[in-house]
Amino acid sequence: MSGNIELLNTTLAAAKAADRAALVAYLPAGFPTVDGGIEAVKAVVAGGADVVEVGLPHSDPVLDGPVIQTADDIALRGGVRIADVMRTVREAYKATGVPILVMTYWNPIDRYGVERFTAELAEAGGAGCILPDLPVQESALWREHADKHGLATVFVVAPSSQDARLATITAAGSGFVYAASLMGVTGTRASVGAQAQDLVGRTRATTDLPVCVGLGVSNAAQAAEVAGFADGVIVGSAFVKAMLDAPDEAAGLAAVRSLAGELAEGVRKR
């Protein structure tokens, strides 16, 4: 069975044709529970998310700040496994029909087996993977199997990336490019900063792939700002924080749906 890279491509193209940025929501699998995580994905899509990244919880998430680390810890203590991540993708895709990617560090895939992981992700209806710590020069095996199974390979670029390095990274990627707005870890911030706009411009000079910006966006005003220069706005910590701060799961689901609605309005006001 082939994965859903084409669905991802057409979804991002449709947002561009509508003269707006796409809203990309991140939520960890298994948080607050596996079932609760699936419901959270449904909630953000109901609120207006175009694409969803499902995080594979990791004990040492080097790109993630304290909010997502807390959620990952809850998921891991709850016993989440890769099978639960695949179930989250499968049920979320079946329920929503939007592109679902997995964001994961490389070690779990390496231990699980690249062929097994890509085959199962494609069978679940996944659209691809975001791989923040996989060096491009060591990615040939992954890309071979991802291509075979119709999955996007999304690499992360940073403000520190030199132009030649950007060209190497974007030439190897597919689906979209994840542009980290600043040097640091995920989390909500008062300002996204001018570094992100510069990075998007330099990245676009090397590729026709959509460029989506993440790290720091937490409200509609910031989403509108980033949507003014990026093809997609990625929001994670703000959704996770809304779930963590809620008194119960039902309130958490209502909160993330409401936040998705506000952010969806923001990306349309670019």
- The predicted pLDDT at position 270 comes to 65
Residue ranges of the alpha helices (H) in 149-248?
163-172, 194-204, 220-227, 237-245
Residue with more model confidence, 23 or 181 = 23
- The predicted pLDDT at position 183 comes to 46
- Give the span between the Cα atoms of 268 and 260, in whole angstroms: 12
Is the predicted pLDDT of residue 23 greater than 60, yes or no? yes
- The predicted pLDDT at position 194 comes to 73
- Give the span between the Cα atoms of 218 and 243, in whole angstroms: 14
Nearest one of 230, 61, 37 to 131, comparing CA atoms: 61
**Per-residue confidence band for 170, with pLDDT thresholds at 50, 70 and 90:** very high
pTM of the entire structure?
Answer: 0.94
Is the predicted pLDDT of residue 214 greater than 50, yes or no? yes
- The predicted pLDDT at position 37 comes to 97
Is the predicted pLDDT of residue 189 greater than 70, yes or no? no
- The predicted pLDDT at position 164 comes to 95
Lowest-confidence pick of 109-113, 161-165, 216-220: 216-220
CA distances from 22 to 62, 117, 190, 234 (A): 26, 27, 21, 8
Whether residue 53 lies in the annotated active site: yes
Lowest-confidence pick of 16-20, 127-131, 218-222: 218-222
Residue 81, strand partner residues: none
- The predicted pLDDT at position 65 comes to 73
Identity of residue 84: D
**Per-residue confidence band for 64, with pLDDT thresholds at 50, 70 and 90:** low
Task: Output the average pLDDT for the chain.
Answer: 92
List 39, 50, 53, 225, catalytic entry: 53
List 19, 35, 50, 64, catalytic entry: 64
Is the predicted pLDDT of residue 113 greater than 90, yes or no? yes
Is the predicted pLDDT of residue 190 greater than 60, yes or no? no
Kindly tell me the burial class for residue 55, based on how many C-beta atoms sit within 10 Å of its own C-beta (0-12, 13-18, 19 or more).
buried
The model's pLDDT over 172-183, given as tens digits with 9 standing for 90+, comes to 999 999 999 764
Whether residue 64 lies in the annotated active site: yes
- The predicted pLDDT at position 182 comes to 62
Is the predicted pLDDT of residue 269 greater than 90, yes or no? no
- The predicted pLDDT at position 62 comes to 64
Is the predicted pLDDT of residue 63 greater than 90, yes or no? no
Q: Count CB-CB contacts under 10 A for residue 62.
A: 9
